[in-house]
Structure 1
Amino acid sequence: MTSSDPAFFAPARVPVLTAAEMRAWDEQAINAYGVPERVLMESAGRAVAATVQRLYPSGRVVAVTGSGNNGGDAVIAARTLWMWGRDVDVVHVGKSPIDATLLHGWELYTAQASTALSGAAVILDGLLGTGASGAPTGAYADAIAAMNASGCPIVALDGPSGVELTTGAMPGDAVRADVTVTFGAPKRGLLLFPGRGRAGRIVAVEIGFPRLAEDGASARLITPAWAHAVLPPVPPNAHKGTMGKVSIVAGRRGMAGAAVLAGLGALRAGAGMAALVSPAANREILQTSLPEALFIDRDVLEADFLAGSKAAVAGPGMGTDAEALEVLRVIAKESDIPLVLDADAVTLLAAHPDLRDAIGDRALVLTPHPGEMSRLLRIPIDQVTADPFAAATKAAEDFACTVLLKGTPSLVATRGRETLVSVAGHSGLATGGNGDVLSGVIGAFLARGMEPWDATGAALWFAGRAAELAGRGRGLLPTDVADALPAALLEEPARESALGLPGIVLDLPPAR
């Protein structure tokens, strides 16, 4: 692997910050811990310079700077690269002049964007920082357009100018970065679309901030190191009982595939047993397609049909008619084992809120996509997609459970815990049936005794990583994901960034 071929690297705990949380952390470093602001800026600029030197080691560098601290960071990066022997130009867009104390005696050469950007080996975007909002205008908008039209690689400092770093929104044009070097921790807007699509490869660097308090971030990233750490080890004397039985209520007549995929996900994720609860009409295809699973006739449910199960999954392809509703009511009253409600079961819950009371205090996981979330919360879908963090948090509060809001990124919310943010996988997962596999994986992890927050977050990581390991790209099928799960579970997380530089706390490849 080379420095231009990144793998997802991060330690176990990586906070994901809003712009306000980032400003509070910055103020805490300066006011409570006595870290001079200039020291933070120097560290940020030198970290950018080191990243540029590793990824783009030769040719002329052009720093495009604004008036704020983001511009100052870019000036320091440019000055450092010049001291390391690089040819450097600066295009200053800000209304106030560059702070001469940042130059350390360097004779700054400034140029016009129209001439400086042509033929540059790399451009540094130091126009706008975390405090910026609204559409860039005037000289800033012109500079963004010029950078994007240059055809040169762009390294954004903290975030691409024009992207709002809390929401990921782009009120106007925004820089199209190849690499974003962000300081301290990634910001939400770098992981939410459309901002994610402009950030490129995201490299978060440590620049001297104090340890972030537990309540200093409302979200954290699901990292490979975290997912592997929360997964319970398999004891050498394990048997099917210790690995847990999952009952999966799925597949109405003519929809047997959903049950097969959920069962396959559960078994490939390590469940000791899987029982498929489905109409008798599906029996032949289910037992032919997945002979490793048990079959239970949904049409003649007995009172103890969940007996011996450590977790249950309900919903994939089960339908939303009166018959499916009755089955769900039976499940709700049957036992107190952890329960995952997916797909049709989420729709039934939205239409029949009394089901939540019937489920009681057992561990519950809901897995809505944005449309299902809009029905759960009775709000427009645009409101869900505009602020998915708020939607996931509200649903977790309203239904007193763990909520997986599917999307890019997917989010896991539960009361009293940080929201988990998943960036594993790629656009090939946008195929019907992958959610069924995922629900089976969550069920398997719950059957192992994992808490819902951990089980859901880990399932997102391993299913997403399996999609990458499958190597199918846009031709990815849900069965490919399930079949690659064992390899994902056996994989060792990367121990360092492919950049090979000190102080890297996140190295995330571009969105695919």
Structure 2
Amino acid sequence: MAGLYPPLRPYARLSVLAPTGAEAAALDKTAIDTVGVPQPVLMENAGRSAAMILQRLRPKGRVVGVVGSGNNGGDALVLLRTLRAWGRDVIAIVAAERSLQDPLLHGWDVPVRTDEGLGAEGWRDLVGEGGLVVDGVLGTGLRGAPRERQGAAIENINALGCWVLSIDVPSGIDAARGAVPGEAVQAAVTIAFGAPKLGSLLHPARSFAGRLIAVEIAFPPWNSKAVAARVVTPAWAQARLPQRESDTHKNAVGRVLVVAGQRGMAGAAVLVVRAALSAGAGLVRICSAPENREIVQSAVPEAIYVDPGDPGALKEALEQCDAVGLGPGLGTGALAQDLAATVVTGPLRPLVVDADALNLASEGKLDLASLAPTRAILATPHAGEMARLLGTDTGTVQSDRIAALQRAVEAHGTALLLKGAPSLVGAPGSEVLVDCQGSSDLAAAGMGDALTGVCATLMAQGLDARDAGAVGLYLTGRAARLAGRGPALTPSDVIRCLPDALGERSQGVSELDLPFVLYDADPAR
């Protein structure tokens, strides 16, 4: 049966950092100036690694390298020289102030010409039928839109409509924020050196990067404290999954209290409860509006109903749980405020704050900052909820999601999971964790409710708030892929496949059987 499952992606050999362009430059400098790795060695390894992957993926056709003035251009020249030595038909187009007799070619007969005066027809003639392009125009140091000459080269590359491999990042993207301030290369594959750059993991730049592959090129071990973000890979997430003892029982594997669902919103409560159970909770209680009781108990007979009108029952439920999921479908009226107040003034249990509980927080009726010192809290806003928490607008949040996340973490002192493309997790004193499993298939009402149930279960089983958020994202994203429903995916599909996602143990798969490949992720979906 396992053979029927979609392959586990991305592949990741080791833990994967995600440096910004500035961080990558600092790591380069450390490797060269402190450790003593010669810069030409790094460039040689980069170009040859990219050449080997290109040869695996596209063994036929002319290879046209578009060369800029920086190190990316040098990497492209090494790639072209390597392919020429292997017998490939190659040509270099220099789109910058750079010598046409570059010593990086080592005397190999690589035709080199300038882009000046080439014109659209000239570009098409050089690439020819079945040809492909290597993009070495701009690198990770870009700030703002490309200059006129480089922008024109990018336009010409995209106009060809051919297969494109980008060096390190697609030319034209912001390697820190994922912005695309002007023209950017639409790559089929991006080969990143050392690690995928943070900007290429963030939208809108992610949609320009295509298949994203990172390779080892002889960097010394990186100091993780020098990099502000990390990718949530399959191996990273699986290593944090709680393990059950053989002699365990229901009260030892996570007891979750769900406080969700005002009148008419029983569905939200049902989804949270089902997700918590499918994620492995040993016992789940649900406190929901009395009008929802029959629906909830019929839909999920495994859950224990708690009457919100009975303060003693809710207090007992709080005492007998290991984590609370608060907010989905709860509303912001008197009942919601009373329930939230009871939860936060009761026993100090780990807390997932979602949906309407976040709206209460943005209205000043739930003070996350005052609660943070006393218990583990994971807040899970989407961009609109994050904007309200920060007192700004959604556009500002989306323009720099990393900065918005870091501002919110600092302001509220809690772990935060910013949903979106991709979802991000941050916590005080922690690196940002970048989700790798999400896709547009998850853009459906109720997915956040399912995520709340999963995260609450993981916190009930002992994970800290940050790791619960990241592992919860991984599990729901992988379950979505296992469901195989594409754009027709529903939260119930995800919940149904959670047990399969929990049971997987793999670092992912890649058909690139090359020892220097560290990371291999499919194009954005």
- In the alignment, is the contact (CA less than 8 A) between 1:333 and 1:359 conserved in 2? no
Partners of 1:419 and 1:203 in 2: how far apart?
A: 20
One-letter amino acid matched to 1:180: T
CA distance in 1, matches of 2:447, 2:282: 21
Gapped regions of structure 2 (runs ≥ 5) = none
Map 1:221-240 → 2, pairs under 5 A: 221-240=231-250
Q: After TM superposition, list the pairs within 5 Å mapping 1:89-100 onto structure 2.
A: 89-98=91-100, 100=102
Match of 2:344 among 328, 332, 338: 332
For residue 177 of structure 2, the aligned residue among 145, 150, 167 is 167
Identity level (%): 45
Query: TM-score with structure 2 length normalisation?
Result: 0.94
- Paired residues of 1:332 and 1:359 also in contact (CA < 8 A): no
Residue-by-residue CA offset, 1:441-479 (whole Å, 9 max, x unaligned): 000001111111111111110111000110000000000
Aligned residue in 2 for 1:457: 470
Equivalent position to 1:73, from 56, 75, 79: 75
Given candidates 41, 51, 54, the residue that maps to 2:53 is: 51
The correspondence for 2:297, drawn from 280, 287, 291, is: 287
Contact 2:177–2:402, Cα closer than 8 Å, also in 1? no
- Pick the aligned partner of 1:443 from 456, 463, 466: 456
Q: Give the counterpart letter for 1:108 in structure 2.
A: V
- Mapping 1:78-227, distance limit 5 Å: 78-98=80-100, 100-111=102-113, 112=118, 113-227=123-237
Structure 1 partner of 2:36: 34
SS of alignment partner, residue 221 of structure 1: strand
Instruction: Please state if 1:402 is matched with 2:415.
Output: yes
Task: Identify the residue that residue 431 of structure 2 maps to in structure 1.
Answer: 418
In 2, are the aligned partners of 1:9 and 1:497 still within 8 Å (CA)?
Answer: yes
| SS class of match (2:30) | helix
Distance 2:468 2:268 in 1: 21
CA distance 1:322–1:36, shift in 2 (3 Å): same
Contact kept in structure 1, 2:80 and 2:110, CA below 8 Å? no
Give the 3-state SS of the residue equivalent to 1:450 in structure 2: coil
Do residues 476 (structure 1) and 486 (structure 2) align? Answer: no
> In structure 2, which of residues 336, 349, 359 is the aligned counterpart of residue 347 of structure 1?
359
* Aligned partner letter, 1:487: D
Residue aligned with 1:170, SS: coil
Equivalent position of 1:375 in the other structure: 388
Alignment partners' CA distance in 1, 2:14 and 2:345:
38
Q: Give the drift of 1:72.
A: 0.7
TM-score (norm 1): 0.97
Q: Is the 8 A contact 1:259 1:276 kept in 2?
A: yes
Q: Does 2:440 correspond to 1:430?
A: no
1:293 to partner: Cα distance: 0.9
**Residues of 2 paired with 1:479 and 1:494: CA distance?**
26
Preserved contact between residue 360 and residue 366 of structure 2 (Cα < 8 Å) = no
Q: What per-residue deviation string (whole Å, max 9, x for no partner) do you get for residues 255-291 of structure 1?
A: 0000000001100000001111001110110011111
- Equivalent-residue separation in structure 2 for 1:162 and 1:273 (angstroms): 51
- 1:108 Cα deviation after fit: 2.3
Distance (Å, rounded) in 2 between the aligned partners of 1:392 and 1:133: 22
1: CA distance between counterparts of 2:371 and 2:130? 65
Letter in structure 1 aligned against 2:88: R
Cα deviation, residue 92, structure 1: 1.3
Going from structure 1 to structure 2, the CA distance change for 1:6 and 1:296 (only over 3 Å counts) comes to closer
1:90 alignment partner, SS class: strand
For 1:267, the equivalent position in structure 2 comes to 277
Shift of residue 120, structure 1, vs aligned partner:
4.0
Does residue 1:361 correspond to 2:374, yes or no? Answer: yes
CA deviations over 1:17-38 (Å, ceiling 9, x no partner): 1111010001001100111111
CA distance in 2, matches of 1:453, 1:183: 28
Contact 1:431 1:478 in 2 (8 A): yes
Matches within 5 A, 1:292-307: 292-302=302-312, 303-307=315-319
Aligned in 2, Cα 1:22/1:462: closer, same or farther, shift over 3 Å? same
Distance of 1:480 and 1:168 partners within structure 2: 31
Residues 295 and 99 of structure 1, relative CA distance in 2, 3 Å threshold: farther
1:67 and 1:98 in contact (8 A); partners too: no
Greater shift after overlay, 262-271 or 6-15? 6-15
- Residue by residue over 1:371-420, the C-alpha shift from the partner in whole angstroms, topping out at 9 and shown as x without a partner, is 11111111222221111112112212221211001111111110111111
Residue segments in structure 1 that go unaligned for 5+ positions in a row: none
CA offset digits 1:188-216 (Å, max 9, x no partner): 11011110010000001111111111311
Q: Secondary structure at the match of 1:62?
A: strand
Give the letter for the 1:305 counterpart.
A
Q: Secondary structure at the match of 1:267?
A: helix
Shift, 1:495, TM fit: 5.5
Please give the alpha-carbon distance, in whole angstroms, between the structure 2 residues aligned to 1:363 and 1:438.
Answer: 17
Alpha-carbon distance between aligned partners in 2 of 1:163 and 1:287, rounded to the nearest angstrom: 51
| 4+ residue segments displaced more than 6 Å | none
CA–CA distance in 1 between the matches of 2:256 and 2:414? 19
Q: 1:350 to 1:257 in 2, by over 3 A?
A: same
Deviates more, 1:375-384 or 1:459-468: 375-384
Q: Give the 3-state SS of the residue equivalent to 1:47 in structure 2.
A: helix
User: How far apart in 1 are the matches of 2:27 and 2:209?
Assistant: 22
CA distance in 1, matches of 2:202, 2:371: 35
1:311 matched residue in structure 2: 323
Q: CA deviation at 1:494?
A: 3.4
The answer to whether the 8 Å contact 2:84/2:110 transfers is no
Alpha-carbon distance, 1:497 to partner: 2.9
SS in 2 for 1:335: coil
Cα pair 2:13 2:507 within 8 Å, conserved = no
Amino acid at match of 1:49: A
Given candidates 11, 23, 42, the residue that maps to 2:13 is 11
What SS is found at the alignment partner of 2:296? helix
RMSD, aligned CA: 1.6
What SS does the corresponding residue of 2:112 show, helix, strand or coil?
Answer: coil
CA contact (8 A) 1:11 1:223 kept: no
Contact 1:12/1:224 (<8 A) preserved: no
1:16 touches 1:185 (CA, 8 Å); kept in 2? yes
Indicate the larger mover: 23-32 or 90-99: 90-99
Could you tell me whether the CA contact under 8 Å between 1:6 and 1:509 is conserved in 2? no
Q: Secondary structure at the match of 1:20?
A: helix
> Which secondary structure state, in structure 1, belongs to the residue aligned with residue 298 of structure 2?
helix
Q: Deviations over 1:306-330 (max 9, x none)?
A: 1210000100000011221111011
Summarize deviations over 1:307-365 as a string: whole Å, max 9, x none.
Answer: 21000010000001122111101100011110111000011011126633357511111
Matched AA of 2:266: A
Are positions 1:388 and 2:388 aligned together? no
CA–CA distance in structure 1, aligned partners of residues 523 and 393 of structure 2: 30
**Partners in 1 of 2:221 and 2:497 — Cα distance?**
37
Q: Deviations over 1:465-512 (max 9, x none)?
A: 000110000000000000000111111223553211121111010000
Q: Which moved more, 1:222-231 or 1:298-307?
A: 298-307
Q: Distance in 2 between matches of 1:317 and 1:6?
A: 33
